[in-house]
Amino acid sequence: MTPEFWQQRWERGEIGWHRAEINRHLAEHWPTLNAAPGCRVLVPLCGKSRDLLWLAAHGHRVIGVELSPIAAQDFIAEHGLTATRTQSPPFERVTCDEVELLIGDFFALMPAHLGTIGAIYDRAALIALPPDLRQRYAAHLAALVPSGAVSLLISVDYDQNCMNGPPFAVNAAEIAQLFGDDFHVAQVGDHDVLDDEPQFRARGLDRLTEQVFCLKRR
């Protein structure tokens, strides 16, 4: 699954993963994560999510990383934001008050691009990645944040034989395998959401759960 795949999805407007509303698991579980007040929050593969604004409204400096410049343009336009653009090679940095968007390849991120990150929010990043990229993603996240940084991770689980991703099924056992060496991992939610997502039933699923995890960097 190449960067061009995702660029083309944005160009064609095929962004079924996008949600217009604030994620309910974010609103429910973020307060219990005990992220340091005012800390920088990293949001990988952020798209044009409204969750960025929710995090900023709760006192955080938010840094979203997104491959597609279309996503950044839409985010600015849809929320009536004023943006300044600077170069932070190999990224373009788009700043809208307390939200910054780094446009480019997540795997090119270095700590110097981010400053000190206190928390991570992943709603749809890990599950967008095929198996061969997930361990690389987990290791790269660990390299970007200091000990004590916390993370809210939302995954999905279903019978992968019934549907090809994305989104890919990443169950609790795989989460533990991917992150357990570098993070303390605790599952805090498991929700049947198939009735809320009829498009996945149409794709052949008879089971779909959203699983919520709190992580803390060792």
217 known member of a binding site? no
The DSSP secondary-structure symbol of 1 reads -
85 known member of a binding site? no
* Cα R_g (the chain), whole angstroms: 16
66 known member of a binding site? yes
CA angle 82, 85, 89 (to 5 degrees): 155
Q: Please report, for residues 22, 40, 76, the alpha-carbon distance to residue 19 in angstroms, rounded to integers and kept in the order given.
A: 8, 23, 16
- Provide the β-strand partners of residue 98: none
- How buried is 89 (Cβ within 10 angstroms: 0-12 exposed, 13-18 middle, 19+ buried)? exposed
Rounded to whole angstroms, how far apart are CA atoms 182 and 179?
A: 6
Rounded to whole angstroms, how far apart are CA atoms 203 and 164?
A: 9
Tokens of 28: 């429910």
123 known member of a binding site? yes
Rounded to whole angstroms, how far apart are CA atoms 160 and 177?
A: 18
Q: Residues within the annotated binding site for S-adenosyl-L-methionine?
A: 10, 45, 66, 123
Q: Residues within the annotated binding site?
A: 10, 45, 66, 123
